[in-house]
A and B are shown apart, each in its own frame.
Chain A
Amino acid sequence: MVARFEPIVGRYVHFEIEGRPQRIYFEEAGSGIPLVCLHTAGTDNRQWRHLLNDTEFTRDFRVIAFDLPWHGKSYPPTGFENEEYRLTTAGFISAIRDFCAALELDRPVVMGCSIGGRIVLDLAAAHAKEFTALIGVQCSDYHKPWYDSSWLNRPDVNGGEVCAALVSGMMAPQSPTATVQETLWQYKQSGPGVFKGDLYFYGTDGDFRDRMSTIDTSLCPIYLLTGEYDYSASPEDTLRTAKALGNGVYVEIMKELGHFPMSENPAQFRRYLAPVLARIKDQPAR
């Protein structure tokens, strides 16, 4: 068998987030418009591997996916053993902006899913001029906690197994078994308490409903893509968010997809992503 190499290249970059030194792992492929991808809660940048390998997109976009601190191959910061991990709105925004600054990216596109889809609203509200466009996958202005997240990190229940089992039904039944299982494996590998800590941002710190009017979509286009089988960040949540954003926001409910479109069924997701990236590519310079 002939070995086959992927075009993805992985590296580490050192910079500070909220005053704490971090060693952040990222992967990239392609050239052109920078497209920074944000993973979901409790996982890492492997969710984006299919997009990073999609030559139709990497011909025009420099696709970059990084692991947040505590996730994937980005260690927690020094001294983490003395604290309980909690992702905050301020910390998440800093991580994204500081990463973009560290790589000297010129007005990148940011695409995030789930918590990553939620944070693009903050970027749009406070930092719109720094970005060419924002894509919220499974994006909503508010995620109402609907279960007791203490189950995700306790000694008598296997954390990896329960995190994976909790999200398994958020994927569409049409999604291929191989990519569904790969998505679940990421949850099984997450550090203890990390998924729970990310949900602090999602359900407690990240209620954006009263700030929707602060977003001016004329400063930076926003695109919303949500899978129909996601009952956590549901189509209804996304449509409510789109309505609050007003005219000019692009919104699409994606058939046969759930909460993890890019990793559960990459072939189906790209059908919806392609027209969005084509629009961004043709966007007039500002």
Chain B
Amino acid sequence: MQEAVAAVVRLSELVNADLNLVRRGRYLTADIQLVLGAQTCFVSIIEGRIAGVETRPQIMRPASFRLAADLSAWLRFWHRMPEPGWHDILAMMKKGHLSVDGDLRIFMGHLQYIKDVVALPRRLLGGA
């Protein structure tokens, strides 16, 4: 768990160093939650840049939307060459391995940016 959470915390440097990704997300300012089993990561996005990632418990902290899956599901998604069905968050949703709830207009309106952001831990956890 610790390694996965640490990788999510490093989204700030991974996203902010990717100027093209920041450009594509420039119209998104939102707080989102990534739920890895029992651990919730609070990710603040300001105009496409990651302003911060917090991992301490914060009950009732609002968010535009949250993406939730078991840690094992995230780890399969974050494999460098994921297996079929574990390679895309919508694929995982279809199979019931991941859920989204909250303001779906924001989620769908920035879908590719969000897909690309949440896939970035693959670079750190990708395995062989």
A residues adjacent to B (C-beta < 8 A)? 146-147, 151, 156-158, 161-162, 164-166, 168-170, 172-174, 228-229, 231-232, 235
Q: Is the CB of B87 within 8 A of A166?
A: no
Q: Which of B84, B94, B112 contacts A164 (CB 8 A)?
A: B112
| Distance of A231 Cα from B84 Cα, bound (Å) | 8
How far is B86's CA from A172's CA once the two chains are assembled, in angstroms? 11
Q: Contacts A157-B105, A173-B82, A231-B95 given: A166-B88 contact, CB under 8 Å?
A: no
Interface residues of chain B, those whose CB is within 8 Å of chain A, are 81-82, 84-85, 87-91, 94-95, 104-105, 108-109, 111-112, 115
Query: Which chain A residues border B90 with CB–CB below 8 Å?
Result: 147, 166, 169, 231
Question: CB distance A231 to B109 under 8 Å?
Answer: no
Q: Do the beta carbons of A169 and B109 come within 8 Å of each other?
A: no
Return A219 CB to nearest CB of chain B, in Å: 34
User: Are A165 and B111 touching (Cβ within 8 A)?
Assistant: yes
- Which residues of chain A come closer than 8 Å to B95, judged between CB atoms? 231
Query: Once bound together, how far apart are the Cα atoms of A57 and B116, in whole Å?
Result: 37
Residues of B within 8 A of A235 (CB): 84
- Find out whether the CB atom of A157 lies under 8 angstroms from the CB atom of B108: yes
Chosen A-B contacts, 24 in total, with CB atoms closer than 8 Å, are A146-B94, A147-B90, A147-B94, A151-B108, A156-B105, A157-B108, A158-B109, A164-B112, A165-B112, A165-B115, A166-B90, A166-B111, A168-B88, A168-B115, A169-B89, A169-B91, A169-B115, A170-B91, A173-B81, A173-B87, A229-B84, A229-B87, A231-B85, A231-B91
